[in-house]
Structure 1
Amino acid sequence: MRRDLPDLLRRNWRQLALLLLGVLVPLLLLADLTEDVFQDGGFAWDRAILAWYAAQRTPGLTRAAQALALLGGVEVLPFVTASVALGLWWLGARAHAAFLVMGVAGATLLNVLAKLIFQRPRPDELVALLTEPGFSFPSGHAMSNMAFGYALALVFWHTRWRWPAAVLGFIWAFAVGLSRNYLGVHYPTDVLAGFAASVAWVAGLYLILARRWPQLRQSPRTARP
């Protein structure tokens, strides 16, 4: 048994690393942010960062942030997700397509539930460039776009496109999240919590589905249902 344990760890080190760095660490960060926001009154730097963004606003940056809000919102992102999933399905990578849709849709549903539970008001309208309905914690844009970017990176991880997909996916998610702070419709902690929750959700979902569909650990071009 003692000699079997190192072999088991060597064979499954990727899954163990994903469990630790992709699920446990983000969940601990999310729990710490939630406790500080709702028990200790939040962080002083939340409003300080929003004030800094407000001081940096220019017409060009504002147009760019509004474009990111549109492209990363419910008007566009679901259709982009569906289009990529349909392409994967057409290639025969049905497990990858299902994982991508479940990752983004699940993060969106979790966000709706979390907002109903925590009901944090949005930042003061005086610092916001947009008026948006609903609650603030965690950021829905941050959660859904991080879920999309992270799931896309995992889908293409066993291809030569792994790093371009990962870099572009995460840059996109961070850009959308930061645009929410720039527009003044979310606190920085809303965005950080959204990122952490989404990473934990997508990583956990991948670990579960990969046991059911081992082809998730293959290239979409070689995977078959």
Structure 2
Amino acid sequence: MSTPGFPGGTAVSSLRVYDWEAADGLHGGTPHVHTASSEAYVVVAGEGEVHTVTPEGVAVDPLSAGSVLWFAPGTVHRLVNSGGLEITVVMQNAGLPEAGDAVFTFPREVMADPAAYAEAARPPREGPQEQRAERARDRRDLAVQGYLELVASIREDGPGALEEFHRRAVEVVRPHLRAWEEIWRERVEREAERTRLQLASLAAGDLGIMREASVVRTEARPGPRAFGMCGRLRTRRPVEPPGGGER
């Protein structure tokens, strides 16, 4: 059983943003950029900020319950938690961010070394909770270090510094593109093609996939929240209705 697919391979998860203090005194998540995927934040509780870097420069947007922000690929973003910040994350191209589309803003020397980058970016999925938390925080701190270096370079040298970072990010992801294409075909292209066929069915007066109408309830996956890039992450899974068919 699975949830209905959205064109674009859209995924939804809930995030409790880290309240760990960073080197610059701010509390929050791991700065990163997506090379191929758009993302949106829907704030459900708490307050904070999102710091972004685009060709237009460095910006800060306040966040509170009800705020909705979208990020195009290439937008460097960093979540700052001022207190109890919780977000619903809407992510395009489900599967690609987990496969490396989310590139961390590590310092230049780390991004230039594939082995060093892979080790620093490794998800904290094994070991006791305390050990996972320590690894997630170390990864966050390294990305904040690189982010602060990037911001300083942009303020000194202008937009060219961001383009240089983008080019380093491209080199990080290039080895993974063949695998990404398989994920894209399976999760994104398939749903777009399904919609195209439905439009053709409707034009012919046929019900098409309307015959498959359904409602799918989901539940939070059991166990502790995962240590994600920007906070404690909770994903969901579809559940069978009681009695195997009655909701």
Going by fraction, where is strand more abundant, 1 or 2?
2
User: What is the TM-score with the length of structure 2 in the denominator?
Assistant: 0.23
Going by fraction, where is helix more abundant, 1 or 2?
1
Q: Point out the structure with max Rg over C-alpha.
A: 2
Q: Which has the higher contact order (CA 8 A, sep 6+)?
A: 1
